[in-house]
């Protein structure tokens, strides 16, 4: 009904948000059902509505099935950070990066940070039992439940994928950014972050124009050639099993293209999912 509608060339779903669009679609469908059935809601319709709300209630970490839930995966420096920022601002989901959450825990000196620090410094994955609880807690927070989420960097091991499933957490799509290792090493070593805006730059491919920004850029301590080799090994030893857990909702994206082209591919996958949810 509204699925293909655009306003000034922009898909309506981007302007209005998935929840509002779904609400309007339902309202319109209800109005036309009422008109054709003389205003009487059928028994079958009522019982299927209560069955679906019961099944929604069994989801422990995200009970609002109208929201978008996305998992994004890819090797270190495959472009997840750049794409996540674009997805967050277009679709209004909460971006949860386990790398950022762990770095914040390390700098705040929390128990989780203390448990994670040595692994992170060595470029290794932190133990599953350290990260799983953190993610499950975060996904059950009201902002994630009401706005949907974009999970970046999790699950990264089969045990993490199993833990999400056992907690009743499911996603609408699993985006996998595929980039050859040869490109990744150059991307990692030249990568810098602006601590004020969080924007990611690359000293060769996309340096900032502004000297002030250039002067404050930070180089992540694990973005060295030596550590990226360890991080890539960890990534390759887990990625097939993790992807295997999401075969039914998986979409492989060529992450070697330009950020804009990758973003367009991601948008088309997400918009297909949004349309399917809106129509459901
Ligand atoms: P990248 O994907 O570029 O390696 P991240 O910022 O996502 O970088 O992660 C940085 C580090 O945080 C990882 O090398 C690892 O030590 C830790 N980490 C992040 N997510 C996870 C996770 N799901 N499981 C275990 N360790 C993680």
- Out of 98, 151, 200, 236, mutate this one to test ligand 1's pocket (max ligand atoms within 8 Å of CB): namely 98
Dmax (CA) of the chain: 71
Q: Is 74 in the pocket of ligand 1 (CB under 6 A)?
A: no
Is 191 an active-site residue?
yes
The C-alpha atoms of residue 103 and residue 152 are separated, in whole angstroms, by: 14
- Out of 102, 158, 230, 235, mutate this one to test ligand 1's pocket (max ligand atoms within 8 Å of CB): namely 102
Q: Among 259, 245, 263, 216, which Cα is nearest to 88's?
A: 263
User: Which helix (DSSP H) or strand (DSSP E) does residue 176 occupy?
Assistant: strand 173-178
Is 138 an active-site residue?
no
Query: How far does residue 97's CA lie from ligand 1's centre (Å)?
Result: 9
Q: Among 166, 96, 106, 95, which Cα is nearest to 130's?
A: 106
Q: Domain 64-279: which CATH class?
A: alpha beta
The C-alpha atoms of residue 277 and residue 280 are separated, in whole angstroms, by: 5
pLDDT at 51: 30
Q: Is 174 in the pocket of ligand 1 (CB under 6 A)?
A: no
Q: What is the 3-state secondary structure (H, E, C) of 54-70?
A: HHHHCCCCCCCCCCCEE
Q: Which residues of 34-57 are buried (b: 16+ CB within 10 A; e: fewer)?
A: eeeeeeeeeeeeeeeeeeeeeeee
Q: Is 87 in the pocket of ligand 1 (CB under 6 A)?
A: no
Measured by CA distance, the residue closest to atom 10 of ligand 1 is: 99
CA distances from 268 to 46, 68, 116, 173, 259 (A): 34, 14, 36, 12, 14
Query: How far does residue 231's CA lie from ligand 1's centre (Å)?
Result: 8
Query: How far does residue 277's CA lie from ligand 1's centre (Å)?
Result: 31
Indicate the burial class of 161 (C-beta count within 10 angstroms; 0-12, 13-18, 19 or more): buried
Cβ pair 280, 4 in contact under 8 A: no
pLDDT at 276: 82
Q: Is the peptide bond before 155 cis (omega within 30 degrees of 0)?
A: yes
Cβ pair 188, 81 in contact under 8 A: no
CA distances from 144 to 70, 78, 91, 269 (A): 11, 25, 13, 21
The C-alpha atoms of residue 60 and residue 143 are separated, in whole angstroms, by: 14
> Coil, strand or helix: which one is 132?
helix
Q: What is the DSSP letter of 123?
A: T
pLDDT at 1: 45
Out of 22, 69, 187, 231, the active site residue is 231
pLDDT at 17: 58
Domain layout of the chain by residue ranges: 6-55, 64-279
Pair of tokens at residue 97: 């990066």
pLDDT tens per residue, the chain (280 residues)?
444 455 555 555 555 555 555 555 454 444 444 444 333 222 222 222 223 333 332 233 334 478 999 999 999 999 999 999 999 999 999 999 999 999 999 999 999 999 999 999 999 999 999 999 999 999 999 999 999 999 999 999 999 999 999 999 999 999 999 999 989 999 999 999 999 998 899 999 999 999 999 999 999 999 999 999 999 999 999 999 999 999 999 999 999 999 999 999 999 999 998 888 778 7
Q: Is 79 in the pocket of ligand 1 (CB under 6 A)?
A: no
Tell how far CA 204 is from the center of its chain: 27
pLDDT at 53: 32
Query: How far does residue 206's CA lie from ligand 1's centre (Å)?
Result: 23
């Amino acid at each position: 009904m509204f699925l293909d509608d655009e306003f000034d060339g922009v898909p309506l779903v981007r302007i209005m948000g998935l929840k509002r669009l779904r609400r309007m679609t339902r309202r319109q469908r209800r109005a036309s059902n009422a008109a054709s059935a003389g205003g009487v809601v059928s028994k079958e319709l009522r019982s299927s509505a209560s069955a679906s709300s019961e099944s929604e209630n069994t989801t422990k970490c995200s009970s609002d099935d109208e929201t978008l839930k996305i998992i994004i995966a890819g090797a270190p420096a495959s472009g997840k950070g750049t794409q996540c920022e674009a997805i967050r601002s277009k679709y209004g989901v909460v971006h949860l990066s386990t790398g950022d959450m762990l770095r914040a825990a390390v700098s705040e000196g929390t128990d989780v940070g203390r448990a994670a620090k040595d692994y992170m410094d060595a470029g290794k994955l932190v133990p599953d039992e350290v990260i799983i609880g953190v993610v499950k807690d975060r996904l059950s927070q009201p902002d994630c439940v009401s706005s949907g989420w974009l999970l970046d960097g999790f699950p990264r091991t089969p045990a993490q994928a199993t833990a999400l499933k056992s907690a009743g957490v499911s996603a609408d799509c699993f985006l996998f950014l595929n980039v050859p290792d040869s490109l990744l090493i150059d991307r990692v070593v030249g990568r810098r972050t602006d601590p004020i805006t969080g924007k990611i730059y690359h000293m060769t491919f996309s340096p900032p124009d502004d000297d002030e920004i250039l002067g404050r850029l930070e180089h992540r301590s694990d973005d060295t050639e030596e550590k990226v080799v360890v991080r890539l090994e960890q990534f390759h030893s887990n990625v097939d099993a993790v992807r295997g857990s999401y075969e039914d909702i998986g979409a492989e994206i060529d992450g070697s293209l330009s950020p804009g082209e990758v973003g367009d591919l991601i948008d088309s996958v997400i918009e297909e999912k949004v349309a399917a949810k809106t129509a459901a």
